[in-house]
């Protein structure tokens, strides 16, 4: 499973420099996952309901504390067959495992608004290492407060 996270940041508290703490704006954030089927095709699942926080140090962007919980019951897909399969027991098993959790600890900027975040994803009660592709809507500015 490949996952991507688009993250507009909502600054909750500007901690004493050099750390900044943000809450994800769930209404404007997007999490999607590209899921392979039978090794010949893939489908994209979208997870519209999430919550999370990010703590980072602008002078040390290689470290990050990212914690995101996704409501897997709300996942959407392009068609009803894919949706049923992804929500079913063979994939996310949302009836027994309603959330997917990601924690990230290392970030590598790949462009002015893009990065990869190494961490662990827990789905269906199983935790595995993964790398997320992250896109920010705009650079964070120290001391800035934003609301949606």
Per residue in 105-148, pLDDT tens?
999 989 888 889 999 999 999 999 999 888 877 775 554 444 33
Instruction: Measure Cα distances from 3 to 28, 32, 104 in Å.
Output: 17, 6, 13
Distance between CA 137 and CA 67 in Å, rounded? 18
The better pLDDT of the pair 114, 18 is held by 114
pTM for the complete prediction?
A: 0.75
Distance between CA 107 and CA 125 in Å, rounded? 25
CATH number listed for the domain at residues 2-136: 2.40.128.110
What's the pLDDT score for residue 3? Answer: 53
Q: Over pLDDT 90: what percentage of the chain?
A: 39
Query: What is the per-residue pLDDT across 49-85, written as a single tens digit (0 to 9) for each?
Result: 999 998 888 778 788 899 999 999 999 998 898 899 8
Domain definitions of the chain by residue range: 2-136
Instruction: Measure Cα distances from 33 to 21, 30, 63, 70, 134 in Å.
Output: 26, 10, 23, 12, 12
Query: What is the mean predicted confidence (pLDDT) over 17-23?
Result: 76
Phi then psi for 86, rounded to 5 degrees? -65, -35
């Amino acid at each position: 499973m490949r996952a991507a996270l688009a993250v507009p940041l909502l600054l909750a508290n500007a901690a004493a420099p050099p750390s900044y703490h943000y809450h994800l704006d769930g209404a404007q954030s997007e999490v999607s996952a590209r899921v392979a089927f039978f090794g010949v095709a893939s489908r994209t699942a979208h997870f519209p309901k999430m919550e999370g926080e990010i703590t980072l140090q602008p002078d040390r962007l290689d470290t990050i504390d990212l914690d995101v919980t996704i409501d897997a019951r709300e996942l959407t897909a392009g068609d009803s067959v894919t949706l049923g399969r992804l929500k079913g027991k063979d994939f996310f098993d949302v009836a027994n495992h309603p959330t997917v959790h990601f924690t990230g600890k290392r970030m590598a900027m790949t462009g002015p608004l893009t990065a990869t975040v190494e961490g662990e994803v827990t789905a269906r009660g199983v935790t595995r290492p993964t790398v997320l592709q992250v896109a920010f809507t705009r650079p964070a500015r120290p001391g800035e407060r934003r609301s949606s």
